[in-house]
Amino acid sequence: MEKLVNDFSFGLFFWQIIILVTLVILLAKFAWKPILDALNEREQGIQNALESAENARKEMQNLQADNEKLLQEARVERDNMIKEARQIKDKMIAEAKEDAQREGEKMIQQAKTTIQTEKNAALADIKNQVATLSVQIAEKVIREELSTKAKQERLVEDMLNDVTLN
């Protein structure tokens, strides 16, 4: 202990205090402050980057979910549209069929009427022609029958014979 006290160097103590305090002040100003600030900034940066990556991931997930939902909706809508289209098609075909049938029937009816009319006209014509022919034939026959005097007399006679005097 006495040796320790005897060996104690006040000069060294003095210089050490001065050097240490100066060193702390200088390093704090020129080294520790910029170093610690840079480290803090870097750590903050990493923290922020991680957070934003996490956020981006979440957003991505949301987007994906949205996409899935949209796709589902689109699929349902498509199915609906196809179904509707099929219904419309069926309806149109049915309507068209009905129309065609009706039209056909109408045309047939019309044709029938026309045929009837034509037939009637033709029959009338034939009747006329037959009548004319008959008259002509009768005329010719009569003309033939009454061509001679004898025949005329016989006719009269026949007719007279037929007429019974009552």
Q: Which residues bind other proteins (CB under 8 A)?
A: 2-4, 6-17, 19-24, 26-28, 30-36, 38-39, 41-42, 45
* Buried/exposed 44-70: b ≥16 CB within 10 Å, e otherwise: eeeeeeeeeeeeeeeeeeeeeeeeeee
User: Nearest approach, Cβ of 29 to other proteins (angstroms)?
Assistant: 9
If you ran DSSP here, which 8-state letter would residue 164 be given?
-
Our CB check for other proteins shows the closer of 19 and 85 to be 19
User: Nearest approach, Cβ of 54 to other proteins (angstroms)?
Assistant: 21
Our CB check for other proteins shows the closer of 7 and 162 to be 7
Cα dist. 4→13, 86, 91 in Å? 14, 110, 117
Our CB check for other proteins shows the closer of 24 and 96 to be 24
Query: How far apart (Å, rounded) are the C-alpha atoms in residues 59 and 71?
Result: 18
User: Nearest approach, Cβ of 58 to other proteins (angstroms)?
Assistant: 26
